[in-house]
Structure 1
Amino acid sequence: MKKKRGRRILARVLWSVLIIVVLGAGGIVVWSQVGVMPAEAAPLADVRANPNITIDDAPEGIVLSPADGESEAGLVFIPGAKVDPWAYAAVLQGVVEEGVTVVITRPWLNLAFFDLRPLDSFTSAAPDIDEWGVGGHSLGGVRACQLAADADALVLFGSYCASDVSDSGLAVISLAGSEDGLSTPEKIADARDNLPADAEMVEIDGASHASFGDYGPQSGDGTPTISDEEMHRTVTELLGSFFSTELLPAR
């Protein structure tokens, strides 16, 4: 009798744990789909109308390529948490025009933290390209740091590395916003030692956290004083110079 009672108690405990796990997993899935910040229509329409780039909604992600087919370097870009990947197309189209193929990933559950795919899951979208950078915005940048060992360069938008890549020899550019209320300049400075000593650190005056994408205001963020157009131009200039120096030396 005691053995049977013990088995019944154990079975109840195991079923209770299973129910809690299932409910917890279901809650995470539901939460990940609620409140996703959509791409703004006007900037995305401009990208779609740009004759200088081609867009492929591929299995690996959103692939933006120079229309002339001349691309010798690529960038795998990981979105911030619960941000529509299309929201980064406009801010990255300028570097595409300068010869860089960009693959914007679609993180599992809209959260880069849950996406454990390796870098070649995305670079396979453009197999002819040998030189690849990996980058991301906010949490996407944290994930990019984890994939950086398989890349030639690292690009951070309003983000910082939680892992130490200081001895990696990577070429790194880190773009911060003076008005960023989430990945504040102070937080980025505190994590500076995780990057190589020669990492290029740039603070864009007037930029907020949401200035690095086109998805509207974000809770907890600061108020930007830079226009979207100027932000796009600034990012294009900085990334264009970075890629020309580090991955496109012959251009």
Structure 2
Amino acid sequence: MSDPRRLLITGANGTLGHATARYFLERDPACLVFLGVRQRQEQAAALVAEFPGRAFLCPLEVTQAESWTAALAQVEAQGGGPLSVLINNAGYHDDALLAHMTMPQWAGVLEANLSAVFLGCQAALQPMMRQRWGRIVNIASLSALHSPAGQTNYAAAKAGVLGLTQSLAKETARLGITVNAVCPGHIEGALPAGWTDEQIKAVRRETPMRRFAKPEEIAAVVFFLASPEASYMTGASLKLDGALV
């Protein structure tokens, strides 16, 4: 691919989304990064100010197909060409034991973490197929591989992302489009809000590397998966957890 890569990163105001956007902007001077945001946008707006003409706020409600259509139209209009890299990073968890989990808790987490990835991939395929080139990176979670108690909704959604990734990779393998997933463990700056200091220390001790991931370490893997050099890697799910599992 010779022209500048045009990236769309969902959840771009969060810890990992922000770090990933910055990683691309600092290491690929030609790329254009569209920062998918819904309501909170302070960190994303700061990147736009720091990288004028290369970073753009992109209003996006990831659970609505029409919002994806509008976002991709913005990429084409402002970026001078179609989307070439999609990073599905948005999502959230709403934990509860299954016996007490409400239907809104179940459905909301499945919609935001799995259905949103389906909608994003479906929207991105059209411009990528026209170019015969594309990179889709889905941010899953270690919970998809090592599911803790109290996360039946989140673990099911993220495991679904891995299945979607593997199946879609087979569908697009001949089209120059790769589809991969990463499964981060705990990330500094993105730990559960309710954790106490003692819980944080206990989980850190359980991790063989004795620390949590820096968001830039996850971003580095995403950067590679989105690169031309990753052309033969597709359908992969990469575990990034400091040997926790």
TM-score (structure 2 length as normaliser) = 0.45
Structure with larger Rg: 1
Structure with greater proportional helix content? 2
TM-score (structure 1 length as normaliser) = 0.45
